[in-house]
Amino acid sequence: MNKISGKSFNIIFLAIVCTALVMTGIVMVVVDPLFHYHAPLNGMSYSLNDERYQNNGIVKHFTYDAMITGTSMTENFKASEADALFGTNTIKTCFMGGSYREISENIRTALEHNPDLKLIIRATDQFDLITPSDKHPSTDPDTSFEYPLFLMDKNIFNDLEYVLNKSLLSDAVTDVKMTLSHTPSTTFDEYMNWMSAYEFGKEAVLKTYARPAASDTEIPLTDSDRELIKDNLTKNIINLANDYPNVTFYIWIPPYSVCYYDVEQRKGTLKRDMDAMEYECSLLVDVPNIRLYGYDDREDIVTDLSLYKDMAHYGESVNSMILKAMAEDDGRITADNYKDYMSRVREFYLNYNYDGIYE
């Protein structure tokens, strides 16, 4: 019986390893579960399940003329409802906890790669409004996940992090299994929708936070705060709108529940929040292709805790309401009415009986 020499064994082993790596790379490039190289293949089923890994490829390679984007406040939107209301072919690319800059960069990538994109529906969260314009999860020390920058740059050499990634290979295998079992691709109604994962209602909401002690100090909106807001909005929203004047931007302020504003009041920052919101409105209403909407004056929504899973996040029925309202131009904030809108909002939140929430 012939024995294989150590040198021959090493050569055979290396050949096997190299063949396995090449085959893995081929599978990843052909299936492309993150759409890094191409659009979904005809006849192939795809699982959409990781927004920060898949959104970049989606905006580059999918066919669409409208997009919904924003933080987790937008994840329960249904693209099919937007299509029916606006007559569009809509994708949804959301970023849980996303910063203004992160969302803006994804929008700009979409606009650079898709000349057919004409309508963008975007949320502007208040929690991240008074924030440096360059805030981004990839450089934020508090980010709890590894950010996939290798998918977003133009360096082909770090694509090895994708094509030879064992974890992402399992995504490709999942797509193949879905295809073989005739399981349809994830829709943009389902993509990152978290409705079924949570309980809703007053009891569920109150479990998600501890009411802080009341502060004796009222914190004002300072000039430096205004500079942060202006820089944040200018670089991450207004410049985009100015660069693409033929695109219509539907910008809306998510209606957090009264519990959120109770916490802000007790921290001494409620008036600051109101002033920041009004300053935001004053900056956005003068941009011709931005249509600004707000629903913080909808008492039937913000006081109904059956619609919320925590102090800020509402369920998909509110997402549907917002889409329908914007399509009907209901809740529009303009240069002529934004002061009246903010007067109503201030009157309601500054005088609300927050203690009654806990009775």
Residue 199 predicted with pLDDT over 70: yes
Average pLDDT (56-72) is 97
Mean pLDDT over each residue of the chain, to the nearest integer = 92
Query: How many angstroms separate the Cα of 32 from the Cα of each of 27, 102, 164, 202, 236?
Result: 8, 23, 12, 43, 30
CA 347 from chain centre, in angstroms, equals 30
Q: Within a domain: residue 331?
A: yes
Residue 19 predicted with pLDDT over 60: no
Q: Within a domain: residue 318?
A: yes
SS3 labels along 123-166: ECCHHHCCCCCCCCCCCCCCCCCCCCHHHCCCCHHHHHHHHCCH
Average pLDDT (95-100) is 95
pLDDT tens-digit map of 238-267: 999 999 999 999 999 999 999 999 999 999
d(CA 21, CA 14): 10
Is residue 283 within 8 A of residue 229, CB to CB? The reply is yes
pTM of the model: 0.92
Neighbours of 214 (CB within 10 A): 9
Size of the chain in residues: 359
Which pLDDT score is estimated for 297?
95
Residue 164 predicted with pLDDT over 50: yes
Q: Within a domain: residue 33?
A: no
Q: Within a domain: residue 163?
A: no
Which pLDDT score is estimated for 181?
96
Count the domains in the chain: 1
Q: Within a domain: residue 23?
A: no
Residue 118 neighbours by CB under 8 Å, 6+ apart: 65, 66, 246, 247, 248
Q: Within a domain: residue 290?
A: yes
Residue 153 predicted with pLDDT over 90: no
Residue 52 predicted with pLDDT over 70: yes
Which pLDDT score is estimated for 152?
87
pLDDT tens-digit map of 337-348: 999 999 999 999
SS3 labels along 276-306: HHHHHHHHHCCCCCEEEEECCCCHHHHCCHH
Residue 83 predicted with pLDDT over 60: yes
Q: Within a domain: residue 50?
A: no
CA 57 from chain centre, in angstroms, equals 15
148-158: string of b/e by CB count within 10 Å (b at 16+)?
Answer: beebbeeeeee
The first and second tokens of residue 274, run together, are 């109101």
d(CA 61, CA 287): 29
pLDDT tens-digit map of 200-236: 999 999 999 999 999 999 999 999 999 999 999 999 9
Residue 279 predicted with pLDDT over 90: yes
Average pLDDT (130-159) is 86
d(CA 342, CA 335): 12
Sheet containing 90-94: order of strands: 90-94, 66-70, 119-123, 248-253, 290-294, 332-333
Residue 176 predicted with pLDDT over 80: yes
Residue 255: give its domain's CATH number.
3.40.50.1110
Is residue 196 within 8 A of residue 189, CB to CB? The reply is no
d(CA 257, CA 303): 6
Lowest mean pLDDT segment, chosen from 16-20, 31-35, 167-171, 328-332: 16-20
Say how many CA atoms lie within 13 Å of 110 toward its Cβ: 31
Neighbours of 219 (CB within 10 A): 15
Dihedral sign of CA atoms 227, 229, 232, 236 in order: negative
Q: Within a domain: residue 28?
A: no
Domain that holds residue 239: 61-157+187-358
